[in-house]
Amino acid sequence: MQIDLSTPTGAALGLLPEIVLTVWAMGLLLVIGWRHSDQRLVRRLGAWTVGGLLLALGVVGWMWHRGVEPVGLPVMLALDGFRWAAATVFLLGALAAALLAIGYLSRERILVPEFYPLLLFATIGMLLMGGAADLIVVFLGLELMSLAVYVLAGIRRRSAASAEAALKYFLLGAFASGFLLYGIALVYGATGSTNLYAISFQLAGGGGGNSVMLGLGIALLLIGFGFKVSAVPFHMWAPDVYDGAPTPVTAFMAAAVKAAGFAALVRVALIAFVDHAAAWQATMWWLAVATMVVGNLVALAQRRVKRMLAYSSIAHAGYLLVAVASATPSGGAAFLFYAFAYTAMTIGAFAILSAIGRDGESEVLVDDLDGLAQRRPWVAFAMSVFMLSLLGFPGTAGFIGKWMILSTAIGAGQTTLAVALVLASVVSAGYYLPVVMAMYMKPQQDSEVADRATVLGGARVVIVAAAVALLLFGVWPNRALDLARTSSRELSAPAGVMIGLPQE
pLDDT in tens, 267-321: 999 888 887 887 788 899 999 999 999 999 999 988 888 889 999 999 999 999 9
Alpha-carbon span 175 to 196, nearest angstrom: 24
What count of other Cβ atoms lies within 10 Å of the Cβ of residue 212?
A: 10
Question: Contact at 8 Å (CB) between 244 and 153?
Answer: yes
Q: How confident is the model at residue 203 (pLDDT cuts 50, 70, 90)?
A: confident
To the nearest 10°, report the CA torsion of 310, 316, 317, 319: 160
Question: Contact at 8 Å (CB) between 405 and 324?
Answer: no
Domain of 361, in residue numbers: 280-492
Alpha-carbon span 53 to 252, nearest angstrom: 14
Alpha-carbon span 69 to 5, nearest angstrom: 10
pLDDT at position 336: 93
**Distances from the Cα of 167 to the Cαs of 154, 172, 300, 415, 459, in angstroms?**
8, 9, 27, 41, 28
Question: Contact at 8 Å (CB) between 119 and 249?
Answer: no
Question: Contact at 8 Å (CB) between 421 and 414?
Answer: no
Q: What angle do CA 325, 329, 330 make, to 5 degrees?
A: 80
pLDDT at position 75: 78
pLDDT at position 501: 43
Residue 75 belongs to a domain: no
Residue 108 belongs to a domain: no
Question: Contact at 8 Å (CB) between 299 and 315?
Answer: yes
- Per-residue pLDDT tens over the stretch 58-67: 999 998 888 8
Question: Contact at 8 Å (CB) between 223 and 178?
Answer: no
Alpha-carbon span 144 to 189, nearest angstrom: 25
- Per-residue pLDDT tens over the stretch 450-502: 556 566 678 889 999 999 999 999 999 999 999 889 888 877 655 444 444 44
Q: How high is the mean pLDDT of the chain?
A: 87
Out of 176-185, 208-217, 236-245, which region has the weakest mean confidence (pLDDT)? Answer: 208-217
**422 against 70, higher pLDDT:** 422
pLDDT at position 95: 95
Question: Across 440-493, where does the E strand assignment appear?
Answer: none
pLDDT at position 500: 42
User: Which residue from 372, 377, 376, 397 is spatially nearest to 386, judged by alpha carbons?
Assistant: 397
Q: How confident is the model at residue 211 (pLDDT cuts 50, 70, 90)?
A: confident
pLDDT mean over 82-100: 94
Residue 405 belongs to a domain: yes
pLDDT of 97 strictly over 90: yes
- What is the domain count for the chain? 1
pTM of the model: 0.91
- Per-residue pLDDT tens over the stretch 306-341: 889 999 999 999 999 999 998 888 899 999 999 999
pLDDT mean over 205-231: 83
Q: What angle do CA 485, 128, 14 make, to 5 degrees?
A: 80
pLDDT of 210 strictly over 70: no
HSE at residue 37, side-chain half, CA atoms within 13 A, is 0
Cβ partners under 8 Å of residue 144, min gap 6: 121, 122, 124, 125, 128
- Per-residue pLDDT tens over the stretch 368-405: 888 888 888 888 899 999 999 999 899 999 999 999 99
Taken in order 191, 193, 196, 197, the sign of the CA dihedral is negative
Mapping DSSP to helix (H, G, I), strand (E, B) and coil, where does residue 93 land?
helix
- The one-letter code for the residue type at 307 is R
Question: Contact at 8 Å (CB) between 39 and 111?
Answer: yes
Residue 455 belongs to a domain: yes
Residue 422 belongs to a domain: yes
pLDDT at position 497: 44
Question: Contact at 8 Å (CB) between 196 and 268?
Answer: yes
Alpha-carbon span 294 to 155, nearest angstrom: 30
Alpha-carbon span 100 to 153, nearest angstrom: 15
Rounded to 5 degrees, what are φ and ψ at 2? Answer: -100, 145
pLDDT at position 359: 60
pLDDT at position 358: 64
Alpha-carbon span 219 to 279, nearest angstrom: 8
pLDDT mean over 189-212: 80
pLDDT at position 320: 94
User: Which residue from 305, 390, 404 is spatially nearest to 355, judged by alpha carbons?
Assistant: 305
Question: Across 35-186, where does the E strand assignment appear?
Answer: 69-70
pLDDT at position 298: 92
To the nearest 10°, report the CA torsion of 343, 158, 113, 176: -50
Residue 332 belongs to a domain: yes
What count of other Cβ atoms lies within 10 Å of the Cβ of residue 151?
A: 18
- The one-letter code for the residue type at 176 is A
Q: What angle do CA 387, 390, 392 make, to 5 degrees?
A: 110
Residue 448 belongs to a domain: yes
Most confidently predicted of 19-33, 34-48, 71-85, 437-451: 19-33
**362 against 249, higher pLDDT:** 249
The secondary structure element, H or E, covering residue 14 is helix 8-14
Residue 488 belongs to a domain: yes
